[in-house]
A and B are shown apart, each in its own frame.
Chain A
Amino acid sequence: MDTPENVRRKESTGKLQIATPGDGSYLAYIRSIITDLAGKIGFPEDEIAKIEMAVDEACSNVLEHAYARDKKWHWQHRDPEIRLDIRTEDGRLVIEINDHGQRVDLSDYRPTNIDERIQQMKPGGYGIFIMRNFMDEVQYSSSETTGNTLRLVKYLKKP
């Protein structure tokens, strides 16, 4: 797929960095990059679908919460951007999703009973559950100097 205008892309052996404007119209491009890469390194189709959904949830959360228009954030003088650092190492895919929006700490999230939410037909609140259940590692970090990073890891084969 061609790289859209306004997207920065850097690639080296085993590493890919892409930076897109913080806008929902780039989510499809991000998903296509992730599914393509996951396929190339040998993930089966079912696992690729899970990785795709987890990354989409993570990026959607950045747009919805970190870059929420009605709230102020530390780097508001800069245009919203999502930067993904993607690498393969030791049989695992590591995807770091970086933003400079407001801190949204996943540790504040209280696990919900997804079966109960679905049975009650609740319209939202599934994103973090999906990330935690579809990926092998989910870690959030935040720094005044470098911004926020959500690190998602998927093992090609379970250690």
Chain B
Amino acid sequence: MKDFRIEREGRGPVQLVRLSGSLDMYSFPRLETQLNTLFQQGHYCVVLDCRDLDYIGSAGLGALIGFAKQAREHSGDVKLLNVPERIYKIIELLGFTKVLQVHNAEDAALGAFARA
């Protein structure tokens, strides 16, 4: 069990946000603040690298699709990258993968914005 951490770096027009630890109702406000800040700065193209994420709850998932919706209204998106299999199975089972794009390679996630 690791503390929740967020690291951000710009990749051209896309913001790559690396998440580690658990994304639950306790830690989620920190990601919410980070995404709100990015949106206020006009960065609506965001990739969330989930490689080191060990849990995501429904509050986090629900809010992520809310942020993705906001981003799409500004011609951007919030895409997921490197989602661990255990988490992917749950979000697929619930149906969140129908509206959230999930990629397994950074190039593909970043490139998906160029193709959009």
| Contact with B62, one of A24, A27, A29, A125 (Cβ below 8 angstroms) | A125
From B24, which residue of chain A is reached at the shortest CB distance?
A27
Chain B residues near A63 (CB, 8 Å)? Answer: 25
Cβ contact within 8 Å between A52 and B95: no
Cβ contact within 8 Å between B65 and A118: yes
A142 CB within 8 Å of chain B: no
Cβ contact within 8 Å between A130 and B69: no
A49 CB within 8 Å of chain B: yes
How does the 8 Å CB contact mask read for B41-67 relative to A, with 1 for contact and 0 for none? 000000000000001011101110110
Chain B residues near A53 (CB, 8 Å)? Answer: 57-58, 90
B16 CB within 8 Å of chain A: no
Cβ contact within 8 Å between B95 and A27: no
Total inter-chain residue pairs, C-beta < 8 Å: 79
Cβ contact within 8 Å between A122 and B66: yes
User: CA A45 – CA B85 in complex, angstroms?
Assistant: 11
How does the 8 Å CB contact mask read for B1-12 relative to A, with 1 for contact and 0 for none? 100000000000
Cβ contact within 8 Å between A126 and B1: no
Cβ contact within 8 Å between B95 and A45: no
In A22-80, the 8 Å CB interface with B consists of 24-25, 27-29, 31-32, 45-46, 49-50, 52-53, 56-57, 60, 63-64
Question: Interface residues of A, CB < 8 Å — how many?
Answer: 31
Chain B residues near A130 (CB, 8 Å)? Answer: 58, 94
A5 CB within 8 Å of chain B: no
A91 CB within 8 Å of chain B: no
Sampled A-B contacts (14; CB under 8 Å): A24-B24, A27-B25, A28-B22, A32-B1, A50-B90, A53-B58, A64-B25, A118-B65, A119-B98, A121-B65, A122-B62, A124-B58, A124-B66, A126-B62
Binding site for A on B (CB under 8 A): 1, 22, 24-26, 55, 57-59, 61-63, 65-66, 68-69, 86-87, 89-90, 94-96, 98-99
